[in-house]
Structure 1
Amino acid sequence: MRFYQADPALENYWRGVILFGNNFATYKFALAHALYEVERSNTLITLEALALPFSHHICQHLKQAPKQTLNMAKPGPFLKACMQFNNGEITLEQFLQATVKHGFKVVLDAFHNVSGGPIDRQFFINETRESKGIRLTDDFYRLAETPQFLNLAHETDARWTLVEKAWEMNLPPQLLDVHYDAQEEVLFTRLSSSRITLTSCRNSLNGYQKGHCFYCNAPVSLERGHAQLADVDHFLPLAAQTAMPGVNLNGVWNLVLACQECNRGANGKFARVPDLRLLYRLHDRNEYFINSRLPLHEAIINQTGNNEPKRRAFLNERWNEALQCRLQKWDPPVQQEIIL
């Protein structure tokens, strides 16, 4: 709850739903994508209008990741219809009828629930009994006008992919180790001798930084070709690796998104060590990862410690070791207020 209460912007309430809500099935992510795409000239969105984009995203993900709920041994009627449609066993009309009948029974009421209860801001009202649809609130329309709105679809898909990958791999938590491939800009893990790509690193990190540069709080973009496209940066530079053999500096715990000016501008960070107060910010960001779970939280715990004091001590020790490499300290030349 601290994530959006500390900085109660609408986009952070929305991110709270996507990043921290319970996941027993992936319908929440499909509903979010449907709301990004559906025509919104009328505040009332019928279930028929939601059905096509909602079911389309489930079907597309099913093709790549067959496990879209915790209990695929007994899929419900909606998932059965998705699989039948993918196999060409039912028509589009039959599929959409099944979606309207079965697809929205739980997700509409559960969408806004985080930490056991509803968040303070509601983006739609469930009016299926009165109007056979949902009614978008003013908060959703305001959200759609924010500069961060375009980033949210990328963040949602990255989160969705992480959840389904965790269910698919079913790894014992102590075996999960996540790494960063700088060339492909993805997060990956290994299962036996096989490498498993998890998701885009940039898209996974952005939500936990609330769409801003980790160092100076300038807004960043996830859209390729955008002038504000974020860089993935190693908080403790790889040049410090010699001082800490066996420590995974390519782990999620040490990766942040930075604006291009902070990362490689005239006064950029390069192979320098950020100020200690920024280390505390990194700790807070990592705790958000851990609280959102599946599967990055286990990787960070494995790499940094199984409780909060140990993780804080781990970061302090690595920061001091980096300075022992005679690397200079660095602070962003211009900084806006940051609330993580």
Structure 2
Amino acid sequence: MEFYEITPTLENYWRGIILFGKNSASYKFALGKSLIDLAGSQNDLIKIEDLAVPYSKYLCGHIEIADKQGNSDGEFLRTCRKYNLNEVSHEELISKAIRLGFGDVLKAFHNVPSGEVPVKFFIEEGRGVKKGIRITDNFLNLFADVDRHDLYEETESRWRLVETAWELNVSRNLIAVSASRDGDELYANNRGRRINITSSRPALNGYQKGSCFYCYGTIEITAGSKELADVDHFLPHTLMVNNIVGNLDGVWNLVLACQCCNSKKSSKLPAIKFLERIHRRNEYLITSHHPLRETLIRQTGNNEQARVAYLQDSYNKAKEVLIHTWEPDPKGPETF
């Protein structure tokens, strides 16, 4: 709840739904992406048959990437596989989606571990063939003010992380997510095989609420954007030479920074006040669910006290080498 209570904006309520929900299947992600697609619609009532088209498209597309899309299977997902194999028509796919594809996802969409978020982006209407959803003013206001592309990329990235755990079909406690040396990509290792998952930017951006880690200025994550965020090592990568701090390429040490802050920080050590901020950001990731949760716990400690000690010890070791610290002037209010 702290995630959206600190800054209770519509954007952060949406992120809370996507990032912190307990997912036994991927339907929430498909619904989220479908809603974003329909954000420009002039009609506030969306019929279930219209919603079924993008919803089915996204599920079929992801099944081609990772066949397993949940802890259990169902007739609709089996139909999606048949569609991918050209064994059923598009009309049959949509018909099955209307009858069986939505299940409880419409009712459960707004759920987070503490209950429902206090705003709703749509309400269900009708039954059977007349079933649909009516989008609310919250939904209209959200997508009037926010670049939908970043929320779209964050939803896609979250989906890729979750489905990777299902697809590898091993205990989530054994899955380790690693970052490439430049920090741009996240990947998992499975029996010696490296599996690329997603870009670091959309995977981390939601937990930073679209803000630079250091100055709280606005950042973007879509390729080609003028304000494209840089992936920065909180404790500088130069410490690798001294082998002072281990696992600097770990997710725990990656943050998104605006280009200005990343350039000025360079190889400097962030001021001590940022240590609490990166701890809070990492706890958001841990409050989220596999596989980033297990990765961070493995990297930094089994409980919050141990994780605080790990960060403080790493910072102290870095301070002995780098000595001088850096911090920018804030460009926006504190958001996390």
TM range (shorter): over 0.9
> One-letter code of the match for 2:91?
E
1:233-272 paired onto structure 2 within 5 Å: 233-244=232-243, 247-264=246-263, 268-272=264-268
Gaps of 5+ in 2: none
**Deviation digits for residues 231-259 of structure 1, max 9, x if unmatched?**
00000001122454571100100000000
DSSP 3-state at the match of 2:196: strand
Shift of 1:116: 4.8
**Deviation digits for residues 101-134 of structure 1, max 9, x if unmatched?**
1111211001001115211010000113294100
**Structure 1's 182 and 78: CA in aligned 2 closer, same or farther, altered over 3 A?**
same
CA distance in 1, matches of 2:80, 2:295: 32
> One-letter code of the match for 1:308?
E
Shift of 1:309: 0.6
DSSP 3-state at the match of 1:126: strand
DSSP 3-state at the match of 1:13: helix
CA distance in 2, matches of 1:92, 1:250: 44
**Deviation digits for residues 263-317 of structure 1, max 9, x if unmatched?**
01xxx10001111111100000000000101101111111100000110110011
CA distance in 2, matches of 1:47, 1:261: 46
Partner of 2:299: 303
CA distance in 1, matches of 2:2, 2:301: 22
Residue 31 (str. 1) matches residue 37 (str. 2): no
Does the 8 Å contact 1:179/1:189 carry over to 2?
yes
**Structure 1's 9 and 189: CA in aligned 2 closer, same or farther, altered over 3 A?**
same
Shift of 1:3: 0.6
Shift of 1:149: 2.7
**Structure 1's 252 and 67: CA in aligned 2 closer, same or farther, altered over 3 A?**
same
Matched-pair identity in %: 45
Partner of 2:321: 325
Alignment RMSD (CA, Å): 1.6
Kindly report structure 1 stretches of 4+ aligned residues shifted beyond 4 Å. Answer: 242-246
**Structure 1's 326 and 95: CA in aligned 2 closer, same or farther, altered over 3 A?**
closer
**Structure 1's 92 and 107: CA in aligned 2 closer, same or farther, altered over 3 A?**
same
**Deviation digits for residues 192-245 of structure 1, max 9, x if unmatched?**
321121211111000000001000011111111111000000000011224545
**Deviation digits for residues 61-99 of structure 1, max 9, x if unmatched?**
00110001112xxx2121121112111111111111111
Partner of 2:164: 165
1:111-260 paired onto structure 2 within 5 Å: 111-129=109-127, 131-183=130-182, 185-244=184-243, 247-260=246-259
DSSP 3-state at the match of 2:265: coil
Residue 312 (str. 1) matches residue 308 (str. 2): yes
DSSP 3-state at the match of 1:232: strand
CA distance in 2, matches of 1:336, 1:235: 20
Partner of 2:43: 42
What is the TM-score normalised by the length of structure 1?
A: 0.94
DSSP 3-state at the match of 1:290: helix
Residue 336 (str. 1) matches residue 325 (str. 2): no
Residue 84 (str. 1) matches residue 82 (str. 2): yes
Does the 8 Å contact 2:245/2:314 carry over to 1?
no
**Deviation digits for residues 176-196 of structure 1, max 9, x if unmatched?**
332211458211122232112
CA distance in 2, matches of 1:214, 1:7: 15
> How many correspondences in the alignment?
334
